[in-house]
Amino acid sequence: MLSEVVPPRGTLVVIYIDGFGRFEGSIARTEQNGFGIQFNCSAHKRERLAEMLKVYMSGSPLDQTTLRRHDRTPSKGNVSFTRADGNVVDCKMLDISRSGVSVATEMRPPIGESVFISGMAGRVVRHHDTGIAIEFVSRDKAVA
């Protein structure tokens, strides 16, 4: 990946690739004008990525429904989440799925921050125009 900033090897990164979504990994190698990333993907995500690459290579457009693991249900109502530092943030729920929730809020905790929302542990995975997306953390994953 070409970049003006070259992070040190081992640095954890999260990148978003238009049409393909969010990827986590770490810096595996560095060069003068860039770096290489070793991606950390589950078997399920690799399978989804392979399907998406087939769609992309066929010339068909990738839409948001291609990226989603679970159907989202629009939802309205006030809710709050608790940040890692204990601060409670009031917000409005936009939609919810089995894997996460999108909320409208001016507060933008850093991506990766652990939060607690509606009785569920989660982490901030994305900032969007009106707020943040929180992925629920499954019981087999530790909350940082």
Mean pLDDT per 10-residue section of the chain, whose length is 144 residues: 87 82 88 90 81 78 52 73 94 88 93 90 90 79 41
Looking at residue 116, its pLDDT comes to 94
Residue-number span of the structural domain to which 89 is assigned: 73-136
Give me the long-range contacts of 66-74 (CB less than 8 A, separation at least 24).
67/19, 67/20, 67/21, 68/97, 69/44, 69/97, 69/98, 69/99, 70/97, 70/98, 70/99, 71/97, 72/96, 72/97, 72/102, 73/97
* Domain assignment of residue 7, yes or no: no
* Domain assignment of residue 131, yes or no: yes
Locus of tokens 């530092």: 85
Which helix (H) or strand (E) segment holds residue 65: the answer is: helix 64-67
* Domain assignment of residue 52, yes or no: yes
* Domain match, 84 and 114 both: yes
Looking at residue 61, its pLDDT comes to 64
Whole-structure pTM over 0.85, yes or no?
no
* Domain match, 77 and 123 both: yes
Q: How many domains does the chain have?
A: 2
Looking at residue 51, its pLDDT comes to 79
Looking at residue 92, its pLDDT comes to 95
* Domain assignment of residue 143, yes or no: no
* Domain assignment of residue 142, yes or no: no
* Domain match, 60 and 19 both: yes
